[in-house]
A and B are shown apart, each in its own frame.
Chain A
Amino acid sequence: MTQIPFHSYEEFAEAWKRRKLPEPMPLENLNLAPAGRDCRKVNFRTSASCHASPRLKRLATFPLLTLCLLLAAGTTLSARLWDTITLRNNKGEVTLSYTLNSPEEINKEALRRHLNLKYRDIIDKRWQIVYPGQLSFLVIPELYGLTGVYNQYQEEKSFATPEALQNGTTTPFKLPAYLPEKLSFLEGSILYKGEEVDPQALYIEAQAADMEYIVQSVPLNSEATRLSVEYGTPAGPDRAIVPKLRITINRIAGSSMTAMHDGYADKVHYEVISIHGNEALYMEAEQTLHVFLKTADGGLLYNIKVLNHNTSVNAELGEEQVQPTPKEELIKIAESLLAE
């Protein structure tokens, strides 16, 4: 049980107020449906949330109930195949598609969820296994045996200057030479590559010793697996809306553009652009430009994204009006990244 270290209510309230919360996902895919059209739930969700979205999985678990609800809401439904359901709005646009699983798959999914719930406390207790400069692997045999999935954790390292960020890793990467007016470097962060760990070996070890879970921490090396840089206007008033630009650089194997095209098909409006011979995707609703840069050992995927911008309400408040960053600006940033 947890020991309560507070001697008074006031002490508790102070501690509660200064409690640091996990950072929320950025408001990606903030794609409001034009008036008179259905809201598109798939697009509205954050990308990370989509991956683990219990909602979509619940839909698969209770297909009949869901279909009844959707039909009652007056939505047109078409089943192209026995196992795939596609939901369209009254303009014929795809708003949601999901797969009806076989009974075996549904049972497996139910078991997986049950195990996730059972081990939720262990998975959530990251603070126990994350140490600075280390990459921790958590293997829960029961879960791994069913899904082959394990968890890994590390603390993100932050840098206050672009120079420190460049010196923070041996992975060569570029920062844009061009930035829109008034934007400057705010913060950078790096997730590092760790030593190789064989989760299968950990699984076998944990099973042999009849362990509920097993954790192994390994040192991180100086190679980056993900970099993130944020640009904005420094020293703005608290909670004021200021334009921010985030560039995330992910190391990936091979070209991912084809996979991205497939993943976005029917769901997000995007435009394919060629920048210095490199393929890039521009998503207007998200104000994001994805650029793939080939390197000797695979590639780096640059996601250039406008996090927020001012609108009419700020103008009414008498605040300085900042225009949304137009596509051309994002392309200029990408061009400065790709220039030799």
Chain B
Amino acid sequence: MKPIEEVGELHTDHPADREDAVRELIVRFHMPIYRYCFHMLQHKQETEDAVQDIFLKVVQQSARLRSIRSPSAWIYQMAHNHCLNLAAKKRLQRLLPLRLIGASPVVAEDSHRQTEEDMAIEAMLSCLNPGERSIMILRVIEDKSHEDIAAIIGVTPAAARKKFERAKGKLRQICMKEEGKAHDPDTVSFI
């Protein structure tokens, strides 16, 4: 299947076409954006809310669709900015006396089961700042090129590559450290 950006620009600005195009974008990018946001936020309910907010922005800004060359980059850019804003808000809210940030669902039937491997992945990713994490997700999970990532995060492709290599280096170092600990008889395991 051809990626959606190859469809090209909207040929008409008729509201019905626009609505169809927006609906199509939402249906097509729901899962990728959900996946991106989940890896960024690591919380299902927050992810659901973030995805809704991002698509609400898509709807609100649908008049711009005609002039957008790559809807995919446009949506990812919105998701990237939204998740970075959420991360910044979270950092700020930690300083407030009353933590009035979004709560987890109180009663939930959830079949999702997190493994130790998942926890290890989260622990490693938590060593990255939100910007680095976003780049890693776009590159590793979403399989985006450095050019695509550059368009999404608003830097040059060379800068995007450099940022990716730096984040990758951090993760590589963690793996090496842990590997070193595993071979050190004096080191007690974390668990």
Contact = CB atoms under 8 A, between A and B. Distances in A.
Interface of A: 1-9, 11-13, 15-17, 19, 21-25, 27, 30, 32-36, 39, 41, 44-46, 48-49, 51-55, 57-58, 61, 110, 112-114, 116-117, 120, 123-127, 130, 143, 147, 149-156, 191, 237-241, 308, 311-314, 316-317, 319
Contacts of B100: 58, 61, 110, 113-114
A191 B59 CA distance: 35
Nearest to A115: B103
B84 interface: no
Interface residues of B, number: 72
A235 B101 CA distance: 43
Given A39-B56, A312-B24, A4 B51 contact: no
A215 to B, nearest CB: 15
B113 A155 contact: yes
B190 A44 contact: no
Interface in B83-115: 98-115
Contacts of A23: 111-112
Contact of A17 (B45, B140, B168): B140
Given A7-B179, A16-B141, 17 more contacts: A1-B190, A3-B190, A7-B178, A9-B168, A17-B141, A19-B118, A46-B52, A113-B99, A116-B103, A116-B106, A126-B113, A151-B108, A239-B1, A239-B31, A241-B28, A316-B7, A319-B1
A16 B43 contact: no
Given A24-B31, A151-B108, A316-B7, A12 B121 contact: yes
A227 to B, nearest CB: 13
B103 A9 contact: no
B104 A120 contact: yes
A4 B175 contact: yes
A49 B106 contact: no
A23 B175 CA distance: 29
A54 B101 contact: yes
Interface string B1-31: 1101001000000010111111110111011
B38 interface: yes
A49 B48 contact: yes
Contact of A36 (B15, B44, B101): B15
B34 interface: yes
Contacts of A238: 1
B60 interface: yes
Interface in B52-93: 52, 55-56, 59-60
A167 to B, nearest CB: 21
28 contacts: A2-B122, A3-B190, A19-B118, A22-B110, A22-B112, A32-B23, A32-B59, A33-B59, A34-B15, A35-B19, A36-B15, A39-B56, A44-B52, A44-B59, A52-B103, A52-B106, A54-B49, A58-B102, A114-B98, A124-B114, A143-B106, A153-B108, A155-B111, A155-B113, A191-B109, A238-B1, A313-B24, A317-B1
A11 B44 CA distance: 25
B1 A4 contact: no
Given A33-B59, A130-B113, A9 B179 contact: no
A45 B52 contact: yes
Given A54-B102, A112-B103, A311 B120 contact: no
Nearest to B123: A2
B184 interface: no
Contact of B107 (A4, A36, A61, A149): A149
A127 B115 CA distance: 7
Given A12-B171, A24-B30, A49-B45, A127 B106 contact: no
Nearest to A6: B175
